[in-house]
Chain A
Amino acid sequence: MNKTDALIIGAGPTGLFTAHQLKLIGLDCEIVDNLDKIGGQCIELYPDKPIYDIPAVPECTGEELTKNLINQLKPFDIKFHLSERVEEVKKDDVNWIVKTNSGKIFSTPNVIIAGGVGSFEPRKFPSKECEKFENKSIFYSVKDKKIFEGKTVAIFGGGDSALDWAVELSKNSKVNLIHRRDEFRGAQATVNKMHTLVKEGKINLFTKYQMTSVKGNGQLESIDIKNDDDEMKNIKADYALGFFGLIMQLGPIANWGLNLDKKTIEVDTEKFETNQKGIYAVGDICTYPGKLKLILSGFHEGALAARACFKLARPNEKYRFEFTTTSSSLLKRLGKKE
């Protein structure tokens, strides 16, 4: 069991700056995120898009913002638990007991949900029947490429993941690449490479086609695809791979007894606490009158939630407000003073 003063769910910009604020006031914290990398929506949705409304930063991309926030955490020792999804939050006598999907358990007086719009999950094929084959012959990511050797693989999508895997798997498998339009949004070099392989007969390309249904008995056997003019084709397939990016799902958060408003969590504006004492919500996932879904709002919310955590983590101490410009204890924590 991991014991910590505060557990942050979500390693996006708000979660990162909240960690900074917690460490600065002398609390320890750990961060859990379902993605395999730090940065949340900034990294997953718009790493290359410039942002113009971070105070004192005229222009930076999602990736740069994330890098700077990680840099700002350098003085501190913060444990990240990536590729872990929080499944359960329950109260024992005093603390919140938090369990992840891989079985990690945390005990903490404070849980700060900085979960954006929930956790990122792969987008799946629209056809319901696909669920039967999921993780057997239908996948949304590749864990072991060896299983495809000598097999017929249908790859759906038009981005880098679809193209990279089509190129890679065409070496040892029969690859059918299916995409809803002629244009691909992947890197031009990979698009060119794919077209060369199509000319060489190593990849069969079906554009303007989409999946309509799947057929098979236990194991996938074939896939029906349809084009814009409603022409159907049936293609043989031992495996299907879908690469349609990620979608955000509120997921297990809905089951933690919190007051929700659509996909957001209701909080007060003093502590950013939910209806459960010791559970806070900050950033895009929280709502209150006047809420703005801006990164700068998340920073403010995290700073106040961090102060609220102090009371529960150090019940016998008094929190004293200090400035980083002058406080020697803060400067010590920042490693600027012996």
Chain B
Amino acid sequence: MPKITYVTSENETHTIDVDNGLTVMEGAVQNDIPGIDADCGGGMACATCHVYVTQDWFDRLPKKEDGEEDMLDMAFEPKKNSRLSCQIVVSDDLDGLTVNIPSKQG
């Protein structure tokens, strides 16, 4: 099962086994990782599952859809490497992915 590492804004590291097919957001919510709110439940409608992805991983992830970039306009302190974790679907290719959680979701 792919391992995903979540790093909180306080630099706590949580490495979790996440089933293939779940999103990085679902992996966080199901394992009570703090800092990913996911208010809309994965509908790409709220920007409260915002994460930063390190540059090498960022380039390897499937590209963002238009709607995701629009929602990121609303995120708290978006950066070049911002993603919505509900739009990243876990697969074997993502084994070892690390995402950083911002200090706030809004």
Give A residues with C-beta under 8 Å from B: 41, 45-46, 49, 117, 123, 126, 157-159, 179-181, 183, 185, 210, 228, 244-245, 247-248, 263, 284, 293
Q: Which of A45, A126, A180, A181 touches B40 (beta carbons < 8 Å)?
A: A45
Across the two chains, which residue of chain B brings its CB closest to A208?
Answer: B80
Query: Cα distance A158–B73 when bound, in Å?
Result: 7
A46 close to B43 (CB less than 8 A): yes
CB-defined contacts of B80 to chain A, threshold 8 Å: 228
CB-defined contacts of A46 to chain B, threshold 8 Å: 43, 45
Query: Is B92 in the interface zone, CB < 8 Å from A?
Result: no
Q: Which of B37, B41, B47, B69 touches A183 (beta carbons < 8 Å)?
A: B69
Output the least CB separation between A230 and chain B (Å): 11
CB-defined contacts of A49 to chain B, threshold 8 Å: 43, 45
Give B residues with C-beta under 8 Å from A: 37, 39-41, 43, 45-48, 69-70, 72-74, 76-80, 104-106
Count A-B contacts at CB 8 Å. Answer: 52
Query: Cα distance A263–B106 when bound, in Å?
Result: 15
Query: Cα distance A157–B77 when bound, in Å?
Result: 12
CB-defined contacts of B104 to chain A, threshold 8 Å: 126
B43 close to A244 (CB less than 8 A): no
Q: A117-B40, A247-B46 are in contact. List 18 more A-B contacts (CB 8 A).
A: A41-B40, A41-B45, A49-B43, A49-B45, A117-B39, A126-B77, A126-B104, A157-B73, A180-B72, A181-B73, A185-B73, A210-B78, A228-B79, A228-B80, A245-B74, A247-B74, A247-B106, A263-B37
Query: Cα distance A185–B44 when bound, in Å?
Result: 15
B73 close to A180 (CB less than 8 A): yes
Pairs across A and B, CB under 8 Å, 16 listed: A41-B45, A45-B40, A49-B43, A117-B39, A123-B106, A180-B78, A181-B69, A185-B70, A210-B78, A228-B79, A245-B74, A247-B46, A247-B74, A263-B37, A263-B39, A284-B41
Q: Interface centre among A180, A183, A210, by most B CB within 10 Å?
A: A180
Query: Cα distance A158–B69 when bound, in Å?
Result: 11
Output the least CB separation between B51 and chain A (Å): 16
CB-defined contacts of A126 to chain B, threshold 8 Å: 76-77, 104
Output the least CB separation between A294 and chain B (Å): 10
CB-defined contacts of B41 to chain A, threshold 8 Å: 284, 293
CB-defined contacts of B76 to chain A, threshold 8 Å: 123, 126
Query: Cα distance A293–B47 when bound, in Å?
Result: 18
Query: Cα distance A248–B104 when bound, in Å?
Result: 13
Q: Considering the complex of A and B, which 8 residue pairs feature the smallest CB-CB distances, nearest first?
A: A247-B106, A45-B45, A185-B70, A245-B74, A117-B39, A244-B74, A158-B73, A126-B77
CB-defined contacts of A123 to chain B, threshold 8 Å: 74, 76, 106
B48 close to A247 (CB less than 8 A): yes
A159 close to B73 (CB less than 8 A): yes
Query: Cα distance A158–B41 when bound, in Å?
Result: 24
A45 close to B73 (CB less than 8 A): no
Query: Cα distance A180–B82 when bound, in Å?
Result: 12
CB-defined contacts of B45 to chain A, threshold 8 Å: 41, 45-46, 49
Query: Cα distance A45–B47 when bound, in Å?
Result: 11
Query: Cα distance A228–B43 when bound, in Å?
Result: 28
Query: Cα distance A41–B41 when bound, in Å?
Result: 12
CB-defined contacts of A180 to chain B, threshold 8 Å: 72-73, 78
CB-defined contacts of A183 to chain B, threshold 8 Å: 69
Across the two chains, which residue of chain B brings its CB closest to A248?
Answer: B39
Across the two chains, which residue of chain B brings its CB closest to A179?
Answer: B73
CB-defined contacts of A159 to chain B, threshold 8 Å: 70, 73
Across the two chains, which residue of chain B brings its CB closest to A157?
Answer: B73
Q: Interface centre among A41, A183, A245, by most B CB within 10 Å?
A: A245
